[in-house]
Structures are given as C-alpha cells and as structure tokens.
Amino acid sequence: MRGWLRETAGGLPATYWYLWTGLLINRVGAFAMLFLSLYLTGSRGASEGLAGLVVGAYGAGGAVGVLLGGVLADGWGRRATLVWSHLAAAIGMLVLAFANDLATIAVLAALIGVMHSMPGPAFVAAIIDVVPEERRSRAFNLQFWAFNLGMAAASFLAGLLAETSFLALFLVDAGATLATTVLIAWKVPETLRRTTGRRATRTPGNAGAGTARRPGLVTALTDRTFMVFVGLTFVLAVLTTQTSTIMPLAMRADGLSATSYGIVVALGGGLIVLGQLFVPRLIDGYRKHLVLSASTALLALGFGALALADHLPVYLAASVVWTVGSMLAAPPNAEINAELAPAVLRARYQSVFYLTFPAAAFVAPALGGVSLQHLGDWHWVIVGGLGLAAALGHLLAGPPRERRVAVLRTAAPPASSAIVSTAGAASD
C-alpha cells in the first residue's frame, strides 16, 4: 500500500504541491456559499425563487470572473492572479458576513462570484506549466481529490455550524481564503514564461486549419471541437450544481435539517477521498469519451432518483451514484481540456472551460428554484433526462475529438514556442 501511494503521489514538483495545499486549505473553509440559499430563506426571509436568483447572481459573477482570470493569468501572470483574487475574495466574504439588505447581499454575491472564479484558470494553467504531460492525469486526479477532501470536512462541519451561526460560516470562509493567499504569495513562484516576441496560434482540425489567428479568447470561443466539449461539460456542471443550489431546498421541503444536508454532501466528499486515488487505474485503457459517457449517465441516474427521495437514506444512496459519476469524469475532463489548448492560450482555454461552472451556478438555481417550486419532484426527472442526453452526446463527439487531438500532437510546436509574449498578451 505504501509503495502504491508513492507511485500515485510521487514524481510531482514542489510548486505543484504548494498549489495543491493552497487549494486544500481554501476548500476546508469555503463552505459559506453552499449554504447561501438556506441562509437567505432561513435568516433573511427570502422565497425559494428569490433565493435562487440571488445565488444565481453569484454564478453570473463567476462567469465574468473566470474569463477575466484566464486573460489575466496569460498576461499578468498565474501567481499575481491567484494572490490578488484570493485576497479580494476574503475581503468580500467579510463584508457579506455583516450585510443585511437582500439587494446588497445580491451585489456582494455577484462580486464574490467574480473573485472565487478568477483563480480557477490560473491554478490549472500553473499545474500544466510545471507538470510534465505524462504525469498530468495523476496531478489532476490529486487536485480533484484535494478539492473534495476539503469539501468533505467543510460540509460536515458547516452543517453543524449552520444550526447555530451563519455568521461563523462567512468568517471561517474568509479566514481560509486569506490563508491560501499567504501560502501562494510565500511559496508559489510565477510559472508563466515570457518573451518580447508576439506569436499567433494555429488551430488544426477546424475550418481554416493552419491559418494564423490572433491569440485571445476569440480563438477558444470559435474552436468548434473545443466548444462542443465545453457544452457537454456545461450539462455535467448543471447536474453537479444541483447539490449546492437546489438539493438543500428539496431536503428542507422534505422536513430534513441543515445537518442532514451536510451529511449528504460530506458522504460524497468522503467517498471521493477514499476512492479517487484508485480512479486512474480503474479507467486506464478506456477511451475518454466512453468514460465521460458512463460517468454522465451515473450523474443523471443519481439526480433523477431524487424524484423518489423523501427520507435521508434515499438521498444518501442517490449521492453514492452521482459521486461515482463525478469521480470517473474528473481526470478525462481535465486531460481533454489540456490536450485541446494551444500552449500560448493555456489559461484562456481554461477560462472558457471553467466558464461552464459559474454559468451552471447561475442557470441551475435561477431556473431550478422556480422549477422546484412549481414542478416539485418532476424537476429531478427533467435533470435526469438532461444528463442522459449529454451521455449520448459524449458518445457522438468523442471520435472526432480524438482525431483532432491526434492532429494537434502531430503539429505541436517545439517546447520553446510555448511561451507567452509580454507585448499585448493581456489585450483581450
């Protein structure tokens, strides 16, 4: 067992482990927004529909933040983007802790959404910068494991804490974010390499393949193969976002407490902590689109089963199903994203990919709150059907995407060209 752990976790650079540790610390404390809908309806008197819109403002802010974070990480730098976005998020959470007016809370939620989403592209771009390609699957798997290790501890503790003090949720969140800021500023060097030249990027496999394009978000947004993958990931994000936005409202409607919600979320995180390290061996040798199709189908079945859930054991059983789906999806999703991104646009491609999560954080509660209020359990039937449609989409989109990746590898420039220019690099 000890040798297997060394094989799983070894061979990764020190900078990666500082990034990994920062993510873990942040996740242990980053539970306040999980309980925002309960806070709004329980402490601020908001309706389910209004609470969904306010939580949706957080997602809308995240959509802006993830694109801004990608542009800044490619131009300003990975380290600077990580440090200042975390610091601003900590300050915003402190202000939110003492806000009373719903309109003020909505504005703060949107601003915090911006700051919470900005680090995502920089984190992943920095990991790709420092981790060799043959070890990235391991690195991404461990990153997903750290995220859920923190969330498992945070969700259980927050479920208990929310029964007595929502204020403490926001304060602990701010403290953990500040601790991450200090660690990155102290230990993580800048990983973005620069030169004085300016390069265009090519996108083999699309219409106009081989034609130079100005490096920027437009390149990613007009990359058809990549955007199909992003669209399918958006559906996955809508499914997983149900856990933090709509499921707590459904559980409360079934007479279950915030502690019960914390137990369900903690179970999922605990399963990932125990099992995620085994996932690479489980899926090794299978084509990525087949793994993604199977994982999305499991997510669909898990959330669809909530149409029949009235008691905690059913929620826990459904959580096991969708958690296994999430575990299987994490490594191939990250690998495909890295494979499709040109080196000079690494963070921008990451930002477009990560846009799916704040976009889902807006769409899921904004529509889901109304859907749950008016359709009841049929909401979960619709969510399950959407997931099964995405599972079919992965089966259809996988083979052409594999051909595109093969072309990109053949046409890949030498390592020396994977350098981002200083002149105009942040112009988008």
Helices marked H in 341-414 — which ranges? 346-354, 356-375, 378-410
95, part of any domain: yes
Residue 307 CB burial class (10 angstroms; 0-12, 13-18, ≥19): middle
145-159, 280-294, 332-346: least confident range: 145-159
213 - beta bridge partners? Answer: 201
Give the whole-angstrom CA distance, residue 193 versus residue 190: 8
Looking at per-residue pLDDT, the higher value among 33 and 421 belongs to 33
88: pLDDT strictly greater than 90 = yes
> In which residue are the tokens 């149900």 written?
242
168-182, 206-220, 241-255, 354-368: least confident range: 206-220
Spell out where 61-175 has E strands. Answer: none
Per-residue confidence (pLDDT) for residue 339, from 0 to 100: 83
DSSP 413: P
CB count in 10 Å sphere of residue 194: 14
2, part of any domain: no
25, part of any domain: yes
197 confidence band (pLDDT: 50, 70, 90): very low
Highest mean pLDDT among 2-6, 351-355, 393-397: 393-397
Give the whole-angstrom CA distance, residue 204 versus residue 297: 31
Looking at per-residue pLDDT, the higher value among 307 and 234 belongs to 234
Give the whole-angstrom CA distance, residue 203 versus residue 210: 6
Task: Give the phi and the psi of residue 420 in degrees, each rounded to 5.
Answer: -90, 135
103: pLDDT strictly greater than 90 = no
96: pLDDT strictly greater than 50 = yes
161: pLDDT strictly greater than 80 = no
First to last CA, the chain: 48
DSSP 230: H
5, part of any domain: no
Per-residue confidence (pLDDT) for residue 413, from 0 to 100: 52
> In which residue are the tokens 């945070």 written?
154
Looking at per-residue pLDDT, the higher value among 19 and 337 belongs to 19
Tokens for 35, please give them.
């309980």
1: pLDDT strictly greater than 60 = no
Per-residue confidence (pLDDT) for residue 388, from 0 to 100: 94
Mean pLDDT, residues 206-218 taken together: 51
201 - beta bridge partners? Answer: 213
58: pLDDT strictly greater than 70 = yes
Structural domain containing residue 111: 12-421
Domain count of the chain?
1
Report pLDDT digits (tens) over 121-144. 898 889 888 888 778 878 888 887
Report pLDDT digits (tens) over 351-365. 888 788 777 877 877
Per-residue confidence (pLDDT) for residue 297, from 0 to 100: 93
Give Dmax (Cα) for the chain.
62
218: pLDDT strictly greater than 50 = yes
Looking at per-residue pLDDT, the higher value among 241 and 201 belongs to 241
Per-residue confidence (pLDDT) for residue 169, from 0 to 100: 78
What is the DSSP annotation of 71-108?
Answer: HHHHHT-HHHHHHHHHHHHHHHHHHHHT---HHHHHHH
Looking at per-residue pLDDT, the higher value among 308 and 321 belongs to 321
427, part of any domain: no
Is residue 48 within 8 Å of residue 364, measured between CB atoms? no
3, part of any domain: no
Tokens for 223, please give them.
């990359």
222: pLDDT strictly greater than 80 = yes
Helical axes 346-354 vs 224-245, angle rounded to 10°:
50
| 3-state SS, residue 226 | helix
Per-residue confidence (pLDDT) for residue 212, from 0 to 100: 41
253, part of any domain: yes
Domain CATH for 70 = 1.20.1250.20
Per-residue confidence (pLDDT) for residue 183, from 0 to 100: 93
CA dihedral 315, 263, 18, 275 (to 10 degrees): -50
> What does pLDDT average to over the chain?
79
Per-residue confidence (pLDDT) for residue 398, from 0 to 100: 87
Mean pLDDT, residues 321-330 taken together: 89
363, part of any domain: yes
Give the whole-angstrom CA distance, residue 235 versus residue 30: 24
Is residue 30 within 8 Å of residue 173, measured between CB atoms? yes
